Structure 1
Amino acid sequence: MSLFTAQVREGQALGFLVLGASLHDILTRLKAEPQRFPKLDIVYETSTPVTEPIVLNLPVNGIRLRFDGPEQRLRLVEVVDFTKNRITYMDKDVFRPTATPTVGSAPTESPSGPMFKHIYKNLMGPAFPGEYIEPEPEDATGMGIYIMSYPGIAFSFPLHSSAYSTGKDVVALLSSSAGCSATSMAIFNGESWPEARKDLYTQTLAPVKASFAKSKEPVPEEVSLVKIYGQGKLEFVRPHSNSAFWLQLGESTPQELVAELGPPDAIYRKNDQRMSIHKNRSASGTNPRPDMNDFRQDDSTDTDQSSSHTATDDSEDEDDDGEVAGNVAGECFYNYFYHGFDILLATPTDPSQCPPSKSGSTPASFDPTADASSKLVAAKLLIHGNVPGSYPFNRHRRCRWEIEYLNHPGQDSIDSETPFSEVESHLHEEWKSIWKNSGEAKSRQRGMVLNRDWGISPGSSCELLGGWEESAGGKRTGGIDSMKGLGNTTLFGFPGLVFEVLQNGTVSGLTVF
């Protein structure tokens, strides 16, 4: 195994581990080098995986990475074992293991990290007084931690509680022969560690477009949020752009998608029709009220086929003669792995109905008499949650969303982090007027179970949902490829929306049509 070698950029990065990069981007890079990073361990809160921080451990490399839950942005880089890597700062070694003692010399204990004097004198220079963290009451060793902090970087040194007192010359103490070597190093965004940790997981970080993405050409700015207004109207919000991109399902063209979002990372041809048994089962022309089955159309549920490719895969149909992004023939998905969503291109259809609370708004336009036989438009949007522990984890970057027509002043937003039970309650209240009574509403909104764990077979859900059994990086003991899925998921449909919900109540994916 080759040693992990990286340059420290205080407040910014450790090599390619850049603060603000997405969990998907980092994992994609790490999985591309299995010999260098043979083990990847993810730690997350199973009950609330999209609100609590996510920790990615690289035990063989002595590195620990911390991401926030909602955006999955890298917030903190920690070196927890200096002997398993080679870290440099301004082209100087942060730590170099002591040479093996010669025969006959007295054995000495080699330091396992950089000494205080080396950091103070050779690397960083003087620092403001640090912070001392007292040992836990049950800790018999009495060893606390002294944190020497600089802007964007900090080092931790073991220090006995009996040796520390306020006002004592800690610099002289730690630089003496009695001083211990640093046990860890942290890279963060902030002036000092005590200040940075107050809002470590909530501060605004500029999104980082990974340099290891499939496309080497400049790409449009990453979409940070999708706002859903109903009737197929969507707003794509970019964090550092004054103008949002508006997408109207049933109207927006492939050329508009490419112009605003860049070329897709892959193109997947839609060819599985086994969910069509659920189409057109409502009474035709006799009941204007929507049926749950209307929301479970084949291309609302089998669209996860679009996720069967990794960021480096090419669709088998992507190289058809004369076909380029923005000029496609036949229904297909535009896969935007690094944006966090897929878009189905199909012939124009009627938009979903207007939310009752917005009944006074201008309806979406659609001319059923227009010749659309050869015209493809954006028909559906699949937003991926990239939930740790879910079956499609790390196929896409996490993309956040808000149901704008449910958001009211003084109330919390209904968004991608809201438990589905709460989302469902608000949607029931919004759409209750379209059902005759609560019994009909309950009947229409019963869930449809999807099995994510069946193996390869001609009739399995895995094949229907895009071949999740195909592993992009191979099995690794303890790594993310050996993570078990959370079992069956359930589909719940409302007008214009289909939710895929995990057993813990977290929304794993949302289809808008």
Structure 2
Amino acid sequence: MTEMRSSFPIYPGRGLGWITIGASLHAVLTRLKAQPQLYPQLDLAYSATEPILDPIVLNLPSNGLRLRFDGPDQRLRLIELLDFSKSVFTYKSIELVRKTGASHDDPSEQVAGPSFKHLYNRLFGPSYPGEYIAPLAGKSQGTYILSWPGLAARFSLRPKSWSEKADFVSLLSSSATSPASSLAIFSGSSWPEVRPTLYSKRPNLPRSISLATKTTENIPDEIEEVMVHAGGKLELFRRTSVPLMVVLNETTPQDLVAELGPPDAIFRKSGSRISIQAGGISKNRLPSVSPTLDPHMAEHEHSSYRSYTDDSENEVSTFDEAQGDETSSEAFYNYFHHGFDVLVSTPDPSTTHDPERPHTPADFVVTKIFLHGNIPGSYAFNRHRRSRWRIALEPDGQPVAVTSEMRFQEASDILKQVYHDSYRDVEEEKRMQRGMVLNRGWGEGDSPESSIEFLGGFEEGPTTKMQTSARGGVDASMSNFNNTELFGFPGLLFEVLKNDSISCLTVYRMDP
């Protein structure tokens, strides 16, 4: 029986098949996981201590591919073809590797990479001289990297054969050079030019694969960054369109749908089965302008994760199905591809409606927004695209920003200074700055909605696992990321991982 192999056309500077340079990690992983027959093994490697700043590497060993993403934006920067026997690679309908009859009959047989002559004469054409890299200590072969716009090939070269005066065409055509050991696809004119800014320069193509390949019409513009302003205002900067301003307690669901498109899913909060235990929070606490880490807030935040589980099917619906449901007083609009969830509800149900009449969608407004960090190794990883945000602050008239790339300790130090006068006394400030632990991993089936617990203790411990399978959700060895801490500031609630990365920012509007 012939083994199924994936087939990829090469587009220099743009991508490999449907995998486009600039695509988000969420979009790529979601597409790969939807086709397990073609992509049976996905291995994700990342830094356990710096998952936001360091690059993320996705290996597809069964397909001979390696994909490299930047950490802050989680966008694809480099596609590497490492094993030419695992997949069929073509350029303008010409196969990259000329296979023998035996190779076609036995896909598991190791296939040598493409020769220089094949790449130069039949595929990519003339090129400028490349870059020679001397062998590392203990190695007998040097490396010659030859670039074309948007593509580079790596050849092994005997050091004694190298000369700066040698004609590279003659050199690479000789027996001193092996076939190409790998190919790389990137955005730029040459590999030496691209390499210094590989992970920092903004990609030309969008994060959305559908937008990049234009496979779907009328796709809403993607969100580049969210700016959080005072007074419950959020400015959503878009890739090509003008910014969208969302005002909590004023913007309607209809406004969202008109600008962002229909949500990917809607979770109706009525009938929630979440069990909450809040330790150390008094229900009779006096009113204050300081934020509260109350169970109601935590329940909202946690509920936004529930639309991804199979056993909540009675409470999750598509946008079209939800139009006829007017019985729920609250609903989460899940925008997985934008990187956030939106809670829509009535601003003040006790005064705005007749208790005999159910609420209608026309009564709803946006009351909370959850901006997800999509941190590798976290319990909620790959449920949303990463959302980048910035909190605009002006203490003492000087502009300061807290960003999604900061460690929470750094962000907290800034926010403590800004909101120091918001507390009644020093004791309240200390009490409100104490983090509360949220456990996401307990319960039947280890499902997100099974249980939610506030714990009194919090044990620190470094994460040692650097690589995990991307198939099947969270690896058992990642269980130390199940516990996260909640920290509150006026209008803001941070969910923080043990490595001090911000997993989610909840923005809500404080009552005056």
State the distance in 2 between where 1:380 and 1:175 align.
63
TM superposition shift of 1:189:
0.4
Contact 1:254 1:327 in 2 (8 A): no
Measured at CA, do residues 320 and 156 of structure 1 come closer, stay the same or move farther in structure 2, by a change above 3 Å?
closer
| Residue number in structure 2 paired with 1:499 | 494
Determine whether 1:377 maps to 2:362: no
Give aligned-pair identity as a percent.
Answer: 42
State the distance in 2 between where 1:15 and 1:289 align.
54
Measured at CA, do residues 338 and 329 of structure 1 come closer, stay the same or move farther in structure 2, by a change above 3 Å?
same
| Residue number in structure 2 paired with 1:180 | 178
Measured at CA, do residues 377 and 443 of structure 1 come closer, stay the same or move farther in structure 2, by a change above 3 Å?
same
TM superposition shift of 1:294:
4.8
Contact 2:54 2:70 in 1 (8 A): yes
Measured at CA, do residues 234 and 327 of structure 1 come closer, stay the same or move farther in structure 2, by a change above 3 Å?
farther
| Residue number in structure 1 paired with 2:402 | 414
Determine whether 1:116 maps to 2:104: no
Determine whether 1:331 maps to 2:330: yes
Alignment of 1:110-509 (within 5 A): 112-139=112-139, 141=140, 143-205=141-203, 206-211=205-210, 216-241=216-241, 243-270=242-269, 271-272=271-272, 274-275=275-276, 281=282, 283=284, 287-290=287-290, 292-294=292-294, 297-309=297-309, 316-318=315-317, 323-324=322-323, 329-349=328-348, 371=353, 374=359, 375-405=363-393, 413-456=401-444, 462-464=449-451, 478-481=469-472, 483=475, 484-485=478-479, 486-509=481-504
Measured at CA, do residues 184 and 322 of structure 1 come closer, stay the same or move farther in structure 2, by a change above 3 Å?
closer
Aligned residue pair count? 472
TM superposition shift of 1:255:
0.5
Measured at CA, do residues 372 and 345 of structure 1 come closer, stay the same or move farther in structure 2, by a change above 3 Å?
farther
TM superposition shift of 1:300:
3.7
Contact 1:278 1:296 in 2 (8 A): no
TM-score (norm 2): 0.84
SS of the equivalent of 1:34 reads: coil
State the distance in 2 between where 1:279 and 1:445 align.
13
Give the unaligned 5+ runs of structure 1. Answer: 102-108, 351-367, 467-475
| Residue number in structure 2 paired with 1:6 | 8
State the distance in 2 between where 1:429 and 1:78 align.
46
Measured at CA, do residues 137 and 343 of structure 1 come closer, stay the same or move farther in structure 2, by a change above 3 Å?
same
TM superposition shift of 1:372:
8.6
| Residue number in structure 2 paired with 1:473 | none
Contact 1:282 1:293 in 2 (8 A): no
TM superposition shift of 1:162:
1.1
- 1:57 aligned partner, one-letter code: N
Measured at CA, do residues 439 and 497 of structure 1 come closer, stay the same or move farther in structure 2, by a change above 3 Å?
same
TM-score (norm 1): 0.84
- 2:372 aligned partner, one-letter code: H
TM superposition shift of 1:248:
0.7
| Residue number in structure 2 paired with 1:17 | 19
SS of the equivalent of 1:224 reads: strand
Q: Which string of whole-angstrom CA distances, capped at 9 and with x for unpartnered residues, describes residues 438-487 of structure 1? A: 332111121111122224179x8642469xxxxxxxxx994443532424
| Residue number in structure 1 paired with 2:464 | none
- 2:304 aligned partner, one-letter code: D
Q: Which string of whole-angstrom CA distances, capped at 9 and with x for unpartnered residues, describes residues 23-50 of structure 1? A: 0000011001111111101111110101
State the distance in 1 between where 2:130 and 2:486 align.
52
Measured at CA, do residues 10 and 37 of structure 1 come closer, stay the same or move farther in structure 2, by a change above 3 Å?
same
Contact 1:119 1:125 in 2 (8 A): yes
State the distance in 2 between where 1:74 and 1:335 align.
24
Q: Which string of whole-angstrom CA distances, capped at 9 and with x for unpartnered residues, describes residues 75-129 of structure 1? A: 110001111111000111111223449xxxxxxx986100001111111111100
SS of the equivalent of 2:210 reads: coil
Contact 1:296 1:498 in 2 (8 A): no
| Residue number in structure 2 paired with 1:72 | 74
TM superposition shift of 1:268:
0.6
- 1:166 aligned partner, one-letter code: E
Measured at CA, do residues 137 and 328 of structure 1 come closer, stay the same or move farther in structure 2, by a change above 3 Å?
farther
State the distance in 1 between where 2:101 and 2:403 align.
56
Q: Which string of whole-angstrom CA distances, capped at 9 and with x for unpartnered residues, describes residues 409-465 of structure 1? A: 98874110100001111111111102244332111121111122224179x864246
State the distance in 2 between where 1:177 and 1:408 align.
70
- 1:401 aligned partner, one-letter code: W
Contact 1:306 1:335 in 2 (8 A): no
| Residue number in structure 1 paired with 2:457 | none
Measured at CA, do residues 426 and 319 of structure 1 come closer, stay the same or move farther in structure 2, by a change above 3 Å?
closer
When the two chains are superposed, the root-mean-square deviation of aligned CA atoms in Å is 3.2
State the distance in 2 between where 1:183 and 1:372 align.
72
Measured at CA, do residues 335 and 128 of structure 1 come closer, stay the same or move farther in structure 2, by a change above 3 Å?
same
- 1:167 aligned partner, one-letter code: K
SS of the equivalent of 1:83 reads: coil
Contact 1:406 1:426 in 2 (8 A): no
Give the unaligned 5+ runs of structure 2. Answer: 104-108, 454-466
SS of the equivalent of 2:450 reads: helix
State the distance in 1 between where 2:88 and 2:332 align.
43
TM superposition shift of 1:305:
3.0
State the distance in 1 between where 2:378 and 2:397 align.
33
- 1:17 aligned partner, one-letter code: I
TM superposition shift of 1:290:
2.7
